[in-house]
Amino acid sequence: MIENNVPNHIAIIMDGNGRWAKKRTFPRLFGHRQGVKRVKDVCNLCMEFSIRYLTLYAFSTENWKRPAEEVNGLMNLFREFLQKEAQNLINKGIRLVVSGRYHEFDDDLVNRIERLKEESKDNNKLVLNVALNYGSRKELVDAARAIVKKGYKAEEIDESIISEHLYEPDVPDPDLIIRTSGEQRLSNFLLWQAAYSELYFTEKFWPEFDRNVLIEALNEYKDRKRKFGGL
């Protein structure tokens, strides 16, 4: 049972949808569809455990390299999720923010994202930060460009200035980063923000992620000693 030392912000690399489907002789897109269902469940669990911020790595800048059929299928899943779950997120007090170059998506999808961001902006039960068309290196490039454009002098730039120009500067750094499917790397995810995050890796594929898996991660987190470089 989770009683104390709950992370304020968890971030999840939702990996393994395609492999989960392949093991069951289903198309990869079926795995992605099952993965979308986990998003709703995990949002509910975060609110139950008083976790205030949840970041989900939904589509990376590298995912464009996948077959066009899979990319198009993912875009349709995002669109479908926004259409079906928008009112549910609002009713539950969830605020949507988005990290990444999502404005490169088609106009219909961008408009849906912008509308839900606006309609949910006053919600405070949970901040759901979805990383869409996100790459941490590109985030740092975009931050550097914004800083230069504002005319900062070199000696004025420090860590706080860089942090203020990231995609969602009001979202605190993640306390805990979870990656599913057994892979043990960050894959260009929150590289700046993850400087002192605790990392947790599970063999479970994302469509298998459930209450028990999250509790295992939270129980391990609460026993970690976070020193942030100190003693």
Predicted pLDDT of residue 67: 95
Indicate the SS3 state at residue 201: strand
% residues pLDDT > 70 (the chain) = 98
- Tens digits of per-residue pLDDT, 81-110? 999 999 999 999 999 999 999 999 999 999
Q: Which of 8, 17, 41, 63 is catalytic?
A: 63
Q: In which region does residue 100 sit, left (phi positive, over 0), alpha (psi from -120 to 50) or beta (all else)?
A: left
231 band by pLDDT with thresholds 50, 70 and 90: low
Greatest pairwise CA separation for the chain in angstroms: 57
120-167 pLDDT per residue, tens: 999 999 999 999 999 999 999 999 999 999 999 999 999 999 999 999
* DSSP category for residue 174: P
Task: From the candidates 5, 8, 15, 133, give the one annotated as an active-site residue.
Answer: 15
Examine the residue annotation and report whether 63 is marked as an active-site residue of this protein. yes
11 neighbors 178 (Cβ within 8 angstroms): yes
Query: For 170-229, what is each residue's pLDDT tens digit?
Result: 999 999 999 999 999 999 999 999 999 999 999 999 999 999 999 999 999 999 988 777
Please, is 45 exposed, middle or buried when counting C-beta atoms within 10 Å of its C-beta (0-12, 13-18, 19+)?
buried
2 pLDDT tier (thresholds 50, 70, 90): low
* Core vs surface per residue 97-125: b (16+ CB within 10 A) or e: bbbbbbeebeeebeebbeebeeebeebee
Helix (H, G, I), strand (E, B) or coil at 41: helix
Confidence at residue 3, expressed as pLDDT on a 0 to 100 scale: 60
Give the architecture (CATH level 2) of 9-134+174-222: 3-Layer(aba) Sandwich (3.40)
4 belongs to the catalytic site: no
Question: What pLDDT digit, counting tens, does each position of 48-84 carry?
Answer: 999 999 999 999 999 999 999 999 999 999 999 999 9
